[in-house]
């Protein structure tokens, strides 16, 4: 009896030694470890996925902010660029229903910090719009072209189908990056 009790004691106290090979111990020990891993892994996976989603969301928000800033400040542009945008804004208004788009575009220019000189150039261009090729040609800088596209989107809100198609035309004509176009559409197309 003494001998069998010792064997029982030995089997209960002997544990497999981890030899660093990464192999699981045979038999019940492996199943117990697997069960423990399965119980812990879903929780860790959920935490990892939640953290990953937060990081990805932050990255995308930052990317969209970089592509499409929350505020546009026309006052920081050169005078020639401001004039080009003002003249193009008049073309955008005329692309659709002028009366409906005029108020929206004017409010947008004001919200983007257009100065009195720029608003005056917009008013002059409304009465005598520049030819389309000249208005588009003046949008040489990618940032200026993107702002002009945004003004087209704003004009298209109440400008009707022709104004919406015109906004798409401007994006294609000025070869605006798809990511910038999508970001602008999310923010300014209604």
Q: What is the pLDDT of residues 24-53, one digit of tens each?
A: 555 555 555 555 555 556 677 788 777 777
Taking a C-beta distance cutoff of 8 angstroms, is the pair 48, 107 a contact? Answer: no
Q: What is the pLDDT of residue 100?
A: 76
What stretches of the chain show up as alpha helix (H) in DSSP?
2-13, 28-67, 79-94, 98-111, 116-127, 132-137, 142-159, 161-173, 178-188
Structure tokens at 121: 């150039």
pLDDT at 133: 93
Domain boundaries, the chain: 23-67, 74-188
Q: 3-state secondary structure string, 57-75?
A: HHHHHHHHHHHCCCCCCHH
Confidence band of 23 (pLDDT split at 50, 70, 90): low
Q: How sure is the predictor about 160, in pLDDT bands with cuts at 50, 70 and 90?
A: confident
The yes-or-no verdict on residue 186 having pLDDT over 70 is yes
Q: What are the tens digits of pLDDT across the range 82-128?
A: 999 999 999 999 998 777 789 999 999 999 999 999 999 999 999 99
Residues 6 or more apart whose CB falls under 8 angstroms from that of 72 comprise: 112, 113, 147, 150
* Reported pTM: 0.64
């Amino acid at each position: 009896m003494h001998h069998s009790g010792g064997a029982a004691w030995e089997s209960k106290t002997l544990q497999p030694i981890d030899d660093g090979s990464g192999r699981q111990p045979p038999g019940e020990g492996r199943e117990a470890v697997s069960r423990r891993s399965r119980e812990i892994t879903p929780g860790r996976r959920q935490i990892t996925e939640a953290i990953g989603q937060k990081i990805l969301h932050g990255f995308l928000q930052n990317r969209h902010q970089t592509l499409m800033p929350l505020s546009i400040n026309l006052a920081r542009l050169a005078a020639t660029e401001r004039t080009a945008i003002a003249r193009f804004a008049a073309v955008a208004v005329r692309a659709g229903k002028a009366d409906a788009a005029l108020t929206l575009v004017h409010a947008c220019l004001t919200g983007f910090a257009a100065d009195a000189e720029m608003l005056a150039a917009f008013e002059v261009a409304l009465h005598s719009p520049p030819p389309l090729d000249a208005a588009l040609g003046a949008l040489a800088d990618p940032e200026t072209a993107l702002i002009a596209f945004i003004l087209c989107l704003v004009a298209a809100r109440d400008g009707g189908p022709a104004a919406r198609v015109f906004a798409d035309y401007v994006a294609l004509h000025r070869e605006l990056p798809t990511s910038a176009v999508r970001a602008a559409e999310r923010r300014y197309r209604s």
